[in-house]
Structure 1
Amino acid sequence: METTADRNITTVLQLSAFTQYFFPFGNFIFPAILWSLKKDQSKFVDFNGRQAINFQLSVLLYTLFLGLVAVPVIIYAVLNGIEMNFVTPAKWDFNIQNMAGIVATTGILGLTFLGLKVTEFFLIIYASVKNSNGENFKYPLTINFIK
Structure 2
Amino acid sequence: MTTTATTTANETNTAALIHLSTLTQYFIPFGNYIFPILIWSAKKKESAFIDANGKSVLNFQLSMFLYTLITLLISIPIFIYCIFKNVTINEFSDGGDLIIENFNSGNITGMVILAFVAILLFCFLKVIEFILIIYASVKASNGEVYKYPLSISFLK
**What TM-score do you get using the length of structure 2 for normalisation?**
0.89
Task: Answer yes or no: is the 8 Å Cα contact 2:88–2:100 preserved in 1.
Answer: yes
Task: Give a deviation string over 1:64-104, Cα, whole Å, max 9, x none.
Answer: 11111111111111222321445735323132331111111
Post-superposition shift, 1:130? 0.3
Aligned to 2:100: 91
How far does the alpha carbon of each residue in 1:24-81 deviate from its partner, in whole angstroms, 9 at most, with x for none?
1110010001111111111100001000001001101111111111111111112223
Q: Is the 8 A contact 2:90 2:100 kept in 1?
A: no
1:31 aligns with 2:36: yes
User: Distance in 1 between the 2:150 and 2:33 partners?
Assistant: 18
- Aligned residue for 2:61? 56
Q: Can you give the 5+ residue segments of structure 1 that lack an aligned partner in the other structure?
A: none
Q: Is the counterpart of residue 21 in structure 1 residue 26 in structure 2?
A: yes
Partner of 1:106: 115
- TM-score under structure 1 normalisation? 0.94
Identity fraction in percent? 47
The reply on whether 1:8 has 2:3 as its aligned counterpart is no
RMSD, aligned CA: 1.3
Letter aligned with residue 33 of structure 2: F
Pick one of 107, 124, 147 that aligns with 1:138. Answer: 147
Task: Report how many residues are paired.
Answer: 147
Bigger fraction of residues in strand: 2
